[in-house]
Amino acid sequence: MAKLFPWNSWLEMEDLKEEMQRLVEDSACSSPFAENGRRLARFRPVADVIEVEDAFFVLVELPGLEREDVRLEVHGNELAVYGERRPPLNVEGAAFQVMERSYGCFSRRFELPEDIDDQAVAASMKSGLLQVRVPKLARRSVNRNIPISMDE
């Protein structure tokens, strides 16, 4: 019995390459929109995205970080949060006996389903919780009456 679609190993390799590239981009340290200077992340903060009528709220848990450790960028309808979480102690000659917490640079990218007002994005941080309000652009009315003129 003949195969309908012949297997192409080169296409499989190309798919694998693209998937690996996506994994690296999802764990990049520097700006997620930059094309160079990437390192693999070890710390990945958890987040919630909540939609209300006129905005999205992105809540990101960043325990142990200060405002200065975090950066935000907006590109189109995407919001990026990135920065670095450093070990709390830098004592010369010290060695970790137990290391359960994760450190390093992190990057999270959130693609929002609607057009957003990138000029009105506001963020605040308290007790390790980053809260970003991303307003939606005002929608145009989909339904409207069209007047019909009379041809003479």
**3 state DSSP class of 48:** strand
Domain 14-88+103-135 part of CATH 2.40.420.20: no
More confident residue, 40 or 78: 78
Amino acid in position 121: V
What is the per-residue burial (b if ≥16 Cβ within 10 Å, else e) of 19-41?
A: eeeeeeeebbbbbbeeeeebeeb
Enter the pTM of the model: 0.64
The string of pLDDT tens digits covering residues 101-151 is: 888 888 899 998 878 888 899 999 999 999 999 999 876 656 777 778 787
Determine contact, residues 25/40, Cβ cutoff 8 Å: no
Residue corresponding to tokens 């309908």: 4
Token pair recorded at residue 51: 């939609």
In sequence order, what are the beta bridge partners of 139? none
- How high is the pLDDT of residue 17? 82
Distance, CA of 66 to CA of 81 (rounded, Å): 13
Pairing of strands 47-51, 129-135: unpaired
Q: What is the pLDDT of residues 65-103, one digit of tens each?
A: 999 999 999 988 889 999 988 877 777 787 878 878 888
Domain spans in the chain, listed from the N-terminal domain onward: 14-88+103-135
